[in-house]
Amino acid sequence: MRLWQKSFKYYLVVLLFLVLMVSLIYVFFKPQKEKVIEAMVEIPQNTSTKDVAMILKKNGIIENPYFFMFYVKLNNYKIAAGKYKLSSDMTYRELCKALEKGFVPKVAIKFTIPEGFTVQQIAKKLQSLGLVDENKFLETVNSYDFNFKYKYSSKEVKYKLEGFLFPDTYEVYPGASEKDIIKMMLNRFLEVYENIKIKKITNLDDIQTVILASIVEKEAKKDDERGIIAGVFLNRLQRGIKLESCATVEYVLPVHKEVLSLQDVRIESPYNTYIKKGLPPSAICSPGRKSLLAALTPAKTDYLFFVAKKDGTHIFSKTFEDHLRAQKQIEEGKK
């Protein structure tokens, strides 16, 4: 065989081998972008490369553990023990860089804001978790323009975003700013509220609905009473009767009180619905989905009054006389 023929065959084999290797790298080393999976992966001490690959495979981070092992050994990566948040859209190089010795991953911090928390309570909780500065958070709520869809018109509003920081469970990474966390909570509110507002059967606008929902959130202890309580307040609004909600008064008190005094309900404040007709100028807390639904779809009822029993349920009345009798029964321990 002539020399040039031998050389041609040699180069052809090399070319075919390179094409094959490129194809393999494309097929097996590319990230899985069709359906991205995120997982918190723990690599124990003294774990072999093979076992690391199997752990990644089990968590859905990689498809082929053997090609991952080959890649690690080829590039001489050193994998360290630890907990890592990894994603299936990471390339093998990104995975190895994340897992190599000396890398400290950022682990998301999870926190939950309960239904009925005020802006002040949210700020205090987030500071206790080391996520924000309480004063800066409150200042940001009132000073930063979030270009948010819903805005209060009254200048007497205590906190501009009260009622819109949706109560839910969130995850943030260390370093997230007050603005970042507030935006995340506002976006969650929009996601929930925009999905359920189509069910609205009242003539209230969106702002009024959120305010009413916040009062329901504070007054209702049982889910099956939320719609009835919303209906009572709506009846009073339509008839021009003061709401007389203890929850609205408590919103402006410096400390929590189980029972309001006569002096408390005489406090001069736009939030005091014992002396002011209509809804307060803003929400008084962050209502959850159930209270928002109750305000959107209140029960149709003739009730105008309710009084709380010791078990958290309420006695509902159509007349003031019936309401007084219910109060007396509770005081005497008959209800």
3-state secondary structure 114-128: CCCCCHHHHHHHHHH
Bridge partners, residue 79, by sequence: 100
In a domain, 4, yes or no: no
The residue range of the domain holding 298 is 201-333
**C-alpha distances in Å from residue 83, one per residue of 42, 48, 134, 159:** 4, 16, 30, 40
Give pLDDT tens digits for 87-132.
Answer: 888 888 888 888 886 455 567 789 999 999 999 999 999 999 989 9
Angle among Cα 37, 38, 42 to the nearest 5 degrees reads 125
Q: Which of these three, 147, 171, 195, is where a domain ends?
A: 195
Asked if the model's pLDDT at residue 314 lies above 60, the reply is: yes
Structure tokens at 210: 């959120």
Beta strands in the chain (DSSP E): 38-43, 82-87, 109-112, 169-172, 305-308, 314-317
Give pLDDT tens digits for 17-61.
Answer: 655 564 555 444 554 445 678 888 888 888 888 999 999 999 988
pLDDT given at position 32? 47
In a domain, 70, yes or no: yes
Bridge partners, residue 308, by sequence: 314
Contacts of 212 (CB under 8 A, 6+ apart): 204, 230, 233, 234, 279, 295
Contacts of 304 (CB under 8 A, 6+ apart): 232, 235, 236, 239, 241, 317, 318, 319, 320, 323
Q: Which of these three, 195, 212, 245, is where a domain ends?
A: 195
Bridge partners, residue 314, by sequence: 308
Question: Among residues 207, 224, 172, 168, which one has the least CA distance to residue 191?
Answer: 168
Query: How far is it, in rounded angstroms, from Cα 104 to Cα 92?
Result: 18
pLDDT given at position 27? 47
Summarize the confidence of residues 63-68 as an average pLDDT: 87
CATH of the domain at 41: 3.30.1490.480
Q: Where are the alpha helices (DSSP H) in 30-152?
A: 49-58, 65-75, 92-99, 119-128, 134-143
Asked if the model's pLDDT at residue 173 lies above 90, the reply is: no
pLDDT given at position 6? 53
In a domain, 25, yes or no: no
Q: 303 and 222, same structural domain?
A: yes
Burial of residue 79, with CB atoms counted within 10 A of its CB: 0-12 exposed, 13-18 middle, 19 or more buried: buried
Please count the structural domains in the chain: 3
Contact assessment for residue 260 and residue 332, using Cβ atoms and an 8 Å cutoff: no
In a domain, 38, yes or no: yes
pTM for the full predicted model: 0.70
Q: 293 and 211, same structural domain?
A: yes
Query: How far is it, in rounded angstroms, from Cα 286 to Cα 118?
Result: 6
Query: How far is it, in rounded angstroms, from Cα 105 to Cα 82?
Result: 9
